[in-house]
Amino acid sequence: MVKIVIDAGHGGSDSGAAYNGRLEKNDTLRLALDIGKILSDHGIDVSYTRTTDIYHSPYEKAMIGNNAGADLFISIHRNAAQKPNTGTGIETLVYADRGVAAQLARNINNELETTGYRNRGVIERPELTVLKRTTMPAVIVEAGFLNNNSDNQLFDTKLDQIAQAIANGILATLGIETPKPQKLYRVQVGAYKNSDYANRLANRLKSDGFQAFVAYRDGYYRVQAGAFTNLDNAVSLEQQLRRAGYDTFITS
């Protein structure tokens, strides 16, 4: 049986990045546990470096993975830019951009891009302990920027999809097939090159009572609302938005 160790970055006295009261260690734990549940449902033997708010050093985490005899080590983190709302997107870190770890990183990034995050690529970080000291292929997934409002909105509204995307990337690397995602219909209200414009429109929609979010794709920040498997529901939401004075179209 394939064994995977999932590391929820930081923990305990080490909060990781912080932004407006939000702590990286809490987001990473939520996401790590959700990923583990999905992998377990696919018959993977999953263990964790932590399941509660406790601290282990990076070296201790690497040793947990080694002692477990894991086939893969997945560390979940969230990024942070020096200035809030200047960095956006996902990236995956590897010791060296080659072999299984590099393929795993690309599979995860490609899946995460479908959730609306900008794909910043695979980055070599050979100095990081959990990548350097683990004896199995290991990656660090940076699941969006903690100090970016749009990235946080995606994280909060699409946590299940983000966990599924990371799990799908792992399963694809292992050669395990996953069900094709359901087609979802969304109502798009605007698309901008500038994230500030997109965020302003999303905030306006929210103030009008609509559940809006910003998704980055193909160089544009797309302001959208809803995620329906039934086209009629998307049409109904589009009509409400048009009555409220918004220009819209339905996308999938």
Q: How many CB atoms lie within 10 A of CB 242?
A: 12
Paired sense of beta strands 72-79 and 138-145, if any: parallel
- Return left, alpha or beta for 63; rule: phi > 0 is left, psi -120 to 50 is alpha, else beta: alpha
Taking each helix axis from N to C end, the angle separating 159-173 and 149-157, rounded to the nearest 10 degrees, works out to: 80
60 carries an active-site annotation = no
Q: Find how far residue 51's CA is from the centre of its chain.
A: 19
Options 24, 91, 111, 142, the catalytic residue: 142
Q: Which of 76, 100, 102, 101 is nearest to 90 (CA)?
A: 76
Report the DSSP beta bridge partners of residue 212.
Answer: 225
Count CB-CB contacts under 10 A for residue 2. Answer: 17
Q: Are 185 and 251 in contact (CB under 8 A)?
A: yes
Q: From CA 121, how far away is CA 105, in angstroms rounded?
A: 8
Q: Please give the radius of gyration of the chain, using alpha carbons only, rounded to the nearest integer.
A: 19
Q: Which residues are catalytic?
A: 142
